[in-house]
Structure 1
């Protein structure tokens, strides 16, 4: 499997395997950081949504080494969380994995392909849209139905968001409650991910 990494000195890209020792060590460190950031989450929103920045290391890894590295970081983070600190019997970690991949992969692909000063805006904008769509589908067909079985029915899940006007069933819960949260999260991840990458690329070279 091949991946590209960004040459911070001259803006070119070089082909490299993600299985080199240096890349594997870096991916491992980013995975560990991602796991720690996943534990540092905000108070819950409508019962189970929490804002955290564990996707930022995956974004950085994907920008440096390609989408495969980002996927590996997301996978390792969620497996460790599911084994050691899951509060949802792995349901939350499964949802996080799918939605995070839907964000990191298009962000890295577009960032590495596009040119110009607005490439970060376009890349993270597309990633936010991708994550929002993936989150809607994942919540509608998998996550919310599984939570409903765990907590005694969809009525109990909807009741947790009763403070938000217009939410009265699973569809409106996802559309009005969860989707705006994912859009806001995508914007925050884009801002923090861009700033972090720009700061690190000035001091760290991977050629």
Structure 2
């Protein structure tokens, strides 16, 4: 088992904190105010690219736990966010990793993020069905939210997160690629 350095743990903690702070800036989605845009996902993705998918999932878990304990003690939304963001991080990393040292890395990063956004959106449809049942809502009345509004939300949120992540990754790329060696 590979030992984690103090630097890796520290940076993961910093990215978790930044991700939590990014969750505090919430913009309601115009089609359904229960859905909120926030700026936390870029830090989760950056941590994933820097230290791997386990670190990315850890950042997602920490930011959701912090938000749960300090802002909103409502577990179902946090679980849905964890599923969405964890799948986004893992799939994007798996697609991008073989091309991370390629000279056209930004193109491959864009492709990986696109695959991640689409995968996240598809994974969230059954997750939202379960979430709606956990909230006790009628599935028949929530069909528009599950099959129309939430997928559009996930596509837009994933795209916004990707647009924020690309310049962050480009700026920190030398550090991230050096960490992989």
Q: Same fold (TM over 0.5)?
A: yes
2:95 is aligned to 110
User: Which whole-Å deviations, capped at 9, do the CAs of 1:128-149 have from their partners, x for residues lacking one?
Assistant: 01110121111012x11223x3
1:28 is aligned to 13
2:33 is aligned to 47
Q: 1:127 aligns with which of 111, 116, 134?
A: 116
Q: Structure 1: which 5+ runs fail to align?
A: 3-16, 156-167
**Does the residue aligned with 2:34 lie in a helix, a strand or coil?**
coil
Q: Structure 2: which 5+ runs fail to align?
A: none
1:145 is aligned to 133
Q: Tell me, yes or no, if the aligned pair for 1:62 and 1:69 is still in contact at 8 Å.
A: yes
Closer, same or farther: CA 126–116 of 1 in aligned 2, 3 Å = farther
1:80 is aligned to 66
Using structure 1 for the length normalisation, give the TM-score. Answer: 0.76
Count of equivalent residues: 174
Q: Tell me, yes or no, if the aligned pair for 1:35 and 1:78 is still in contact at 8 Å.
A: yes
Q: Tell me, yes or no, if the aligned pair for 2:42 and 2:165 is still in contact at 8 Å.
A: yes
Q: State the Cα RMSD in Å.
A: 2.1
1:154 is aligned to 138
Alpha-carbon distance in structure 2 between the residues aligned to 1:113 and 1:169: 44
User: Which whole-Å deviations, capped at 9, do the CAs of 1:107-159 have from their partners, x for residues lacking one?
Assistant: 12222213462201210011001110121111012x11223x3xxx438xxxx
**Does the residue aligned with 1:91 lie in a helix, a strand or coil?**
helix
1:5 is aligned to none
Decide which structure has the larger Cα Rg and report it: 1
> How far does residue 202 in structure 1 lie from its aligned partner after superposition?
5.2
User: Which whole-Å deviations, capped at 9, do the CAs of 1:79-133 have from their partners, x for residues lacking one?
Assistant: 111111116x211111101100011111122222134622012100110011101
In terms of fraction of residues, the more helix-rich structure is 2
Q: Tell me, yes or no, if the aligned pair for 1:144 and 1:170 is still in contact at 8 Å.
A: yes
Alpha-carbon distance in structure 2 between the residues aligned to 1:52 and 1:125: 19
User: Which whole-Å deviations, capped at 9, do the CAs of 1:6-34 have from their partners, x for residues lacking one?
Assistant: xxxxxxxxxxx4x2111000000000000
> How far does residue 173 in structure 1 lie from its aligned partner after superposition?
2.0
